[in-house]
Amino acid sequence: MVPVSDAVVTLYRRINDWVVWDASQYLQVNPVTTPNDGSFAYMAPQGEYYIEVKKEGYRTHNTPAFDLTTEVINPELELIKLPPSIIDVIVPGAPIIENLGNIANALGAQGAYITKVFQNEVVENPDVKSAATNFVVPAAAAITTAVVATAVQATSLIGYLYFLLTQPLLLLGRRKRKEFGVVFNSLTKLPVDLAIIRLFRTNGKLVRTSATDKQGRYAFLVDPGEYRIEASKQGYTFPSQYLKDKKEDVQYLDLYHGETIRAGEKGAIITANVPMDPLDIVKSTRRLYWESIGRKLQSVLAFSGVILTLIAALLYRLPWLWVLTGVQIVLFLLFRRLARPKRPKNWGIIYDEKTKKPIPFAVARIVETQYNKVLESRVTDARGRYNFLVGNNKYVVTVEKPGYEAKKAEIDLSRQGKDEGVVDMDIPMREKSEAKVQTPPAPPPSSEPPVKPT
C-alpha cells in the first residue's frame, strides 16, 4: 500500500442536507491535505457523515454515508489511479510495433482500473449491495420468468410435464424392434415433439396420457381390450386428412387415423404411428420481421437474467441468491427446450447475384409440393443465413425481399437415406431493375405560322 500525499480530504455531515462539516469550532481544519504518509483524522461529534477524497490523476473517492458512534474519523481509504487514455500513449512518429505495445499496456491498465472500481465501489458498497439483493436481482428473476411465461406456450409446458412423468414407460419400447409409436408431421415426415397422446377405452374412459419425446415417440403398455388414441399439439390437427386413406407413408408403417385398436394379451404395447396435419398458417413479412426481433430479445433477456443473478450470488454469497440462481437456470433451460425449436447446424446463404453480398432480412419459405402448403417461414440474419429441417419429400423454397425479384428453388429429398434433411442451398437474388424514364417525343411542327408578339 503506497501512501498518497497532497490528496484533499473533505468531511461532509448531514444537517437536513449534506454540507461541509464546520471544523473550526473544534479547532480543526476541513478540508485537509494529506502529508507524505497520506494520513488524516477528524475529531467530530456523533452524527451522519461521508468523506470525499480528491487528487489530480486519481478517481474521486466518496465513501458511503456512515453513522459516527465514536469521536475519531480516520478510516483507511484507497485512491484508484486513473489509467492513461489510448490517445495519450500513442507516440507520433514511433514504430507501429512500439505504439501497438503502448496501446496494449493502456488497455490492460484500463481493464485493471475498471475491475478495481467495480470491486471497491460496487461490491463493497452496502447501498449498492442492498439495491442489488433487494431490487435488481429480484427484478432480473421476474424478467426471466415473464420471458419464459410469454415465450413458452401453455400446451407445450403441459406436454413437457407429461413427458417427464411418462418417460420411464417409453424406455420399455427399446427391447425389440421399434416397439414404440411415432407421432409425425404428415407433410414434412418429421417427428412431432411434446405431442399429448391420450389412450381411451372404446367406452370413452381415459386410461392413460403420455407425451412424445424429441423423436416423436410414445408407447402404451395395456391390458387386453379395445382402445382408441387421440393426439393433440398446438399448430396441428388429428386425424390427418392428407394421409387418411394410407396405411403406410415413406418410413412409417401402420398409420393410425382413429380406428379401434385391439389388444389380445396382457402386457401388449400399443405403438401405432400417428400422422398429424400442420395448420395452414402463412405469416406476413411484417409479422415475421417482428417475431424474429422478438425471439432475439427474449433470448437476450432470459440469458441476462441468469448472468446477473449468478454474478450477484458469486459476489455476495447469500444462500437465497444461490437458490434463485438455480431457479433462473432451470427457467432458462426450459425456455431453450420449449420456446426454441431444434435448428440444424448447416446454413444456406441468400445473396445478391451481382455483388455476391449476403442479403439480410429476406423472407424464405419452404413449400411442400404435393399439397402446395407452406410449412415454415424464416427471416435471414445479418449474414443472409437461413435453413429448414425437413423430412423425406419434395419441396420448393421461395425467397422474397423488397427491391429484389422473388426467387424459387426446388429440392428433392425423397430419395435420401436419412429420416431428416437440411435445406441449406445458397440462393442468389436479382435486384429489380429501375424503370427507365422515357423522354416524351417532341410535338410535330405546327403548320400554322407563329403568332407575332404585339
Q: Are residues 105 and 136 in the same domain?
A: no
pLDDT, residue 154, reads 44
Could you tell me which residue, 389 or 184, shows the higher pLDDT? 184
Q: Are residues 118 and 12 in the same domain?
A: yes
Task: Report long-range pairs for 66-75 (Cβ below 8 Å, ≥24 apart).
Answer: 68/44, 71/43, 71/44, 71/45, 71/46, 72/41, 72/42, 72/43, 73/11, 73/41, 73/42, 73/43, 73/44, 73/49, 74/39, 74/40, 74/41, 74/42, 75/51
Q: Are residues 138 and 220 in the same domain?
A: no
Residue 192: pLDDT over 50: yes
**Residue 292: inside a domain:** yes
**Domain boundary, last residue among 295, 311, 340:** 340
**Residue 447: inside a domain:** no
Q: Are residues 12 and 109 in the same domain?
A: yes
Which residues lie closer than 8 Å to 280 by C-beta, 6 or more apart? 373, 374
Share of the chain above pLDDT 70, in %: 69
Render pLDDT for 4-46 as a digit per residue (tens, 0 to 9): 999 999 999 998 889 999 999 888 999 999 999 989 999 998 8
Residue 397: pLDDT over 70: yes
For 308-414, where are the E strands, in sequence order? 348-352, 363-368, 373-379, 385-386, 388-391, 394-400, 407-412
Give the closest residue to 170 by CA, choosing from 215, 202, 236, 230: 215
- Across 267-286, average pLDDT: 78
> According to the per-residue pLDDT averaged within each range, which of 43-57, 181-195, 238-252 is highest?
43-57
Render pLDDT for 324-366 as a digit per residue (tens, 0 to 9): 777 777 767 766 665 556 666 778 888 988 888 888 888 888 8
Report the b/e string of 82-91 with b at 16+ CB within 10 A: ebeeeeebee
In this structure, what CATH number is given to the domain that contains residue 211? 2.60.40.10
Residue 291: pLDDT over 70: no
Give the closest residue to 301 by CA, choosing from 161, 191, 448, 141: 141
Contact indicator for 426, 442 with CB cutoff of 8 Å: no
Could you tell me which residue, 329 or 227, shows the higher pLDDT? 227
User: For 205-318, where are the alpha helices, taking DSSP H only?
Assistant: 285-316
**Residue 2: inside a domain:** no
Residue 453: pLDDT over 70: no
The alpha carbon of residue 270 and the mean position of all alpha carbons in its chain are separated, in whole angstroms, by: 39
Residue 454's pLDDT band (cuts 50, 70, 90): very low
Q: Are residues 110 and 144 in the same domain?
A: no
Residue 436's pLDDT band (cuts 50, 70, 90): very low
**Residue 298: inside a domain:** yes
Per the prediction, the chain carries an average pLDDT of 75
Residue 283: pLDDT over 60: yes
H or E element: which one contains 169?
helix 154-170
Q: Are residues 196 and 298 in the same domain?
A: no
Q: Are residues 239 and 187 in the same domain?
A: yes
Residue 284's pLDDT band (cuts 50, 70, 90): low
Number of domains in the chain: 4
| Local structure of residue 133 (DSSP, 8 states) | I
Q: Are residues 94 and 182 in the same domain?
A: no
Residue 197's pLDDT band (cuts 50, 70, 90): confident
pLDDT, residue 221, reads 82
Q: Are residues 376 and 425 in the same domain?
A: yes
Per DSSP, the three-state class of 288 is: helix
Lowest mean pLDDT among 226-240, 293-307, 389-403: 293-307
Could you tell me which residue, 193 or 283, shows the higher pLDDT? 193
CA distance linking residue 370 with residue 349, whole number of Å = 26
| Residue 435, all three cell numbers | 424503370
Q: Are residues 63 and 104 in the same domain?
A: yes
Residue 393: pLDDT over 70: yes
Q: Are residues 110 and 25 in the same domain?
A: yes
**Domain boundary, last residue among 278, 297, 327:** 278
Q: Are residues 49 and 190 in the same domain?
A: no
Tell me the residue range of the domain where 348 lies.
Answer: 343-432
Residue 155's pLDDT band (cuts 50, 70, 90): very low
Could you tell me which residue, 452 or 121, shows the higher pLDDT? 121
- Across 407-413, average pLDDT: 83
Contact indicator for 391, 185 with CB cutoff of 8 Å: yes
pLDDT, residue 151, reads 46
